C-alpha cells in the first residue's frame, strides 16, 4: 500500500539540525583559521576586519536561513550583507536615508507578497 505524498527518494534526508550544525561548524573553523593567520601576520588587518565585520555577520545569518531552506529571507540577508560589504570595500557612498532604507522596505514588501502561507 502506497502512502500519497510520502518522500519516495532512496536516500535519507538530513535533518535541519544536522545541516545547521555542519554549517556552523564549517563557519567556525574558517573563522578560527582566518583569526590564527591574522595573529601570525600572514593576512592583512584590513582583510581580517572585513571578515569580522557586521556585514559578514549578515551574510552568515542569511546563509543559516538558506541552510534552513528559507530562500527568500536568506537571500535578502545575504544580498544586504554583500551590498553593505561592497560599499565599504570599494568606498562607495550610498545615502542611507535616500536609497537603502526605502530599498529595504521594498524588499520586505516583496517578501510578504511571495511568502507562502503555512
Those residues of the chain that have pLDDT short of 70 are 1-14, 97, 116-118
Taking only the tens place, the pLDDT of each residue in 44-78 is: 888 888 888 999 999 999 999 898 888 888 888 89
- Cα–Cα dist 28/36, whole Å: 12
pTM: 0.67
Residue 43 CA, chain-centre distance (Å), reads 23
Q: Which phi and psi angles does 72 have, rounded to 5°?
A: -70, -50
Is residue 82 within 8 A of residue 76, CB to CB? The reply is: no
In the chain, where the domains are located: 16-93
Amino acid at each position: 500500500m502506497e502512502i500519497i505524498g510520502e518522500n519516495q527518494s532512496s536516500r535519507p534526508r538530513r535533518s535541519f539540525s544536522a545541516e545547521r550544525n555542519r554549517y556552523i561548524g564549517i563557519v567556525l573553523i574558517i573563522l578560527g583559521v582566518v583569526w590564527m593567520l591574522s595573529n601570525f601576520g600572514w593576512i592583512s588587518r584590513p582583510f581580517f576586519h572585513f571578515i569580522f565585520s557586521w556585514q559578514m555577520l549578515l551574510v552568515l545569518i542569511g546563509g543559516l536561513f538558506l541552510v534552513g531552506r528559507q530562500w527568500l529571507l536568506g537571500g535578502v540577508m545575504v544580498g544586504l550583507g554583500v551590498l553593505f560589504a561592497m560599499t565599504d570595500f570599494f568606498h562607495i557612498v550610498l545615502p542611507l536615508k535616500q536609497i537603502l532604507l526605502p530599498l529595504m522596505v521594498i524588499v520586505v514588501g516583496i517578501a510578504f507578497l511571495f511568502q507562502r502561507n503555512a
